[in-house]
Amino acid sequence: MSTTEKKTTAMSSDHSGSYLSVRDLVVHFPTSDGVVKATDGLSYTVDRGKTLGIVGESGSGKSVSSSAILGLHRGTNAQVSGEILLDGVDLLTLGDEQMRRRRGKDVAMIFQDPLSAMHPYYTVGNQIAEAYRVHNRVSRKAARARTIEMLDRVGIPNPDRRVDDYPHQFSGGMRQRAMIAMSLINDPGLLIADEPTTALDVTVQAQILDLLQDLQKEFNSAIVIITHDLGVVAEMADDVLVMYAGRAVEYGPTKEILVRPEMPYTWGLLSSVPDVVGDTDAKLIPIKGNPPSLLNPPTGCAFHPRCAHRDKVPGNLCFTQLPDLTPAAAGGTHTKRCHIANPDEVYVAEVLPEIAPDLVEEQQR
Amino acid sequence: MFAYIVRRVVIGVVLLIVMSLVTFLLFFSGAFDPARNACGKVCSPAQIEQTSKALGYDKPILTQWGSFLGGIATGRDYPLDKSVREANPELVTHCAAPCLGYSMVNTDTVNHLLKSAIPISFSIALVAFVFWIIGGLLFGIIAAMTKGSFLDRGIVGFSLIFYAFPTFVIGLLLLRFVAIRWGIFQLPVYVPLTQNPSLWFTNLVLPSITLALFYMAGYARMSRTFIIESSGEDYVRTAKAKGVKRVPLILKHTLRAALTPLVTMAGLDLAILLGGAIITEDVFSFHGLGLLAVTSNSRQDLPTLVGIVLLLSTFVIVANIIVDILYAFIDPRVRLD
């Protein structure tokens, strides 16, 4: 423990407040066709008890960057560089065995599809207890008791009976509850939830998110939630990181990002969200085109081929120069990666009336 | 579960009856006269007719098949014709149920022939099975764990060589060097297990290795592929994310899933080998079912051939049922009903 403390003071003097601090994270996969730049210079911080939402389309590098925190790329040909400071210790400098000891104990992960993420041949209880026994020298009986306690905590009825069921005997929502029990059994400081509700029913989604929030309060853990659902972000996250082509394009407090987004890609994501109680005049505008190839990302701003606002930038800056992550017009900790000079005005004048006409009316009144 | 097994057994029996009809029709209504074959090389037409009557070949083919099935149920007495039996009581041979016929070529019942061959084939097959499963899995796991390394490539390369090498070459090389030149083992002779277990085993080592190498090569490659495949599964990633150590990760999570298809193949391969390993038995002169099939074939000993075909079919059908039942134990998602 003393060595950890020493490292803490030595290595994270400049951002000692954050439990997780990712700096310039790069994950590259060399392939025969070239280098796939899945994550290219990603930085963010999360405090204990706080939630960061990472949003983006499939293939924007959300999951890859998060798996890197757990060191799941070790033993593959992935090239990972940068810094991942967890409680002041750079996880990328740890040996494989040291990293293994932290997996599931200090950092745990919940996966998207709980059916395929659980082993079909072992009982739910066996798999949860395994997570406990890997990190704690306890008897089978004690691990089982702890497992039943955790199943009860995540709201599984008759946990003392259901502990011996196989994953296929659980419903989708119950499986995800069991996954949550598995990930929290060692009381990890950081929980990464990779699209935890994508594979679930809408009604169950809300229950799972509620459960996660409850447990976060109880365990005071930091949560990184990966999603493409802005509804989930609005519900869960304190901060939002919008990813595009392996980079952060907008990063800041959730309220700021959802109310005053300044990057056309974020506008696109917001326009793609249907709103059941909203105005029926509101248009659902998908972002045209496909996510870019990470093998040959577009020059300049990676979003320019799909950007409807690129003509607002003088010259061909969007095509030639990658914009820096700069403070937003609104100020604060909100940053964005865009060449447009007055994105806040463009949003209010052009984007908002399209996606939320009722909101505009309200403001005018 | 019980109802499932009963249903499978009933289907299996029906399958065997159909199988017996097909082989019967193929062999006994084929190009050559079974009575002429049974009688021998120099036979007068009268003798042939006598043989035909004694063995029932003068009756219509379906009647012959019917009495063959009856013989399996209740046993038969040879010669089949009652008047012949009464005229020559010293020739009468009783063939107890399940009677599979009488081989004139060997002047013995088919049951008796099979009974002496079965333990030999079973011994070779079972010992080889143990060798190839242990070796195949071991090399498969090592290769999968060191995927891409020289060790992995070496295992894959060697398994390709053994897979491609003709069994008789391996058998003859083992005989020539291990048994004759170096004298590590004696020239293998079959010793019954009940007579001397240690001699039984040492005499089986060479033929079993000969047989096992081919299968071991195949199983090493298959288990390597299955392990690599299942190590990409989400649940293996989950286990890794839990912090499970490398060895339990492979044995408990990856291998368990990879075993399922291997169990199916191992069960069926063993069943086929129980019916005799023709080349291996030939090289080592072990008179098992494989060699019996070859000699019966070259001597056109039809009743013995029919018996062997039916026995082999039974093995395969039983192995299928066992594999399906095993499946329910391996994979909790499988329900037998």
The CATH code of the domain that includes A94 is 3.40.50.300
Task: Give how far B262 is from chain A: nearest CA, Å.
Answer: 16
Identify the pLDDT of residue A5: 43
What average pLDDT does range A67-90 have in this prediction? Answer: 90
User: Picking from A147-161, A196-210, B266-280, which range would have the lowest pLDDT averaged per residue?
Assistant: A196-210
First to last CA, chain B: 6
- For the cut 80, the answer to whether the pLDDT of residue A360 exceeds it is no
A136, A229: one domain: yes
What are the pLDDT digits (tens) for B73-122?
888 888 887 787 888 888 788 888 888 888 888 888 999 999 999 999 99
A223 touches A299 (CB < 8 A)? no
Based on the fold, state whether residues A266 and A358 are members of the same structural domain. yes
Question: Measured between CB atoms, which of B241, B256, B331 is closest to A103?
Answer: B241
* Domain carrying residue A310: 261-364
Inter-chain contact A134–B253, Cβ cutoff 8 Å?
Answer: no
Q: What is the per-residue pLDDT across A273-294, written as a single tens digit (0 to 9) for each?
A: 776 666 666 667 788 888 888 8
User: Which of B239, B243, B245 is closest, CB to CB, to A105?
Assistant: B243
The pLDDT of residue A86 is: 93
* Integer Cα distance of B302 and B305 in angstroms: 5
Do the domain assignments include residue A110?
Answer: yes
- The number of beta carbons lying within 10 Å of the beta carbon of residue B32 is 11
How far away is chain B from the Cα of A98, in angstroms, using its nearest Cα?
10
Three-state secondary structure readout of chain A: CHHHHHHHHHHCCCCCCCCEEEEEEEEEEEECCEEEEEEEEEEEEECCCCEEEEECCCCCCHHHHHHHHHCCCCCCCCEEEEEEEECCEEHHHCCHHHHHHHECCCEEEECCCHHHHCCCCCCHHHHHHHHHHHHCCCCHHHHHHHHHHHHHHCCCCCHHHHCCCCHHHCCHHHHHHHHHHHHHCCCCCEEEEECCCCCCCHHHHHHHHHHHHHHHHHHCCEEEEEECCHHHHHHHCCEEEEEECCEEEEEEEHHHHHHCCCCHHHHHHHHCCCCCCCCCCCCCCCCCCCCCCCCCCCCCCCCHHHCCCHHHCCCCHHHHCCCCCEECCCCCCCEECCCCCCHHHHHHHHHHHHHCHHHHHHHHC
CB contact under 8 A, A182 and B242: yes
Provide the 3-class DSSP secondary structure of residue B273: helix
Kindly state whether residue A253 falls inside one of the protein's structural domains: no
CB contact under 8 A, A119 and B330: no
Average pLDDT over residues B226-235: 92
Q: Are A56 and A242 in contact (CB under 8 A)?
A: yes
Please, what is the average pLDDT of chain A? 87
Averaged pLDDT, A334-344 = 89
Total domain count, chain A: 2
Q: Write out the residue limits of the CATH 1.10.3720.10 domain(s) in chain B.
A: 112-330
- DSSP reduced 3-state for B77: strand
pLDDT digits (tens, 9 = 90+) for A11-68: 434 445 689 999 999 999 999 998 999 999 999 999 999 999 999 888 888 889 989 9
The one-character DSSP state at B255 is I
Q: Is residue A196 part of a domain?
A: yes
Amino acid B116: pLDDT: 92
Residues A232 and A265 occupy one common structural domain: no
Q: How many CB pairs under 8 A join A and B?
A: 69
- What is the ipTM for the molecules in this complex? 0.85
**Does a structural domain hold residue A243?**
no
Q: Are A124 and A211 found together in one domain? A: yes
- A130 vs B contacts (CB less than 8 Å): 239, 242, 244
In a domain, A293, yes or no: yes
Sheet holding A89-90, edge to edge: A34-46, A20-31, A79-86, A89-90
**Contact residues of A toward B, CB < 8 A:** 70, 72, 100-105, 108-109, 111, 113, 116-122, 127, 130-131, 134-135, 166, 168, 179, 182
pLDDT at B96: 84
The pLDDT value given to residue A10: 40
Among the four given CATH numbers 3.40.1710.10, 3.40.50.150, 1.10.3720.10, 3.40.50.10860, the one describing domain B112-330: 1.10.3720.10
Q: Give the integer Cα–Cα distance in Å for B138 and B262.
A: 13
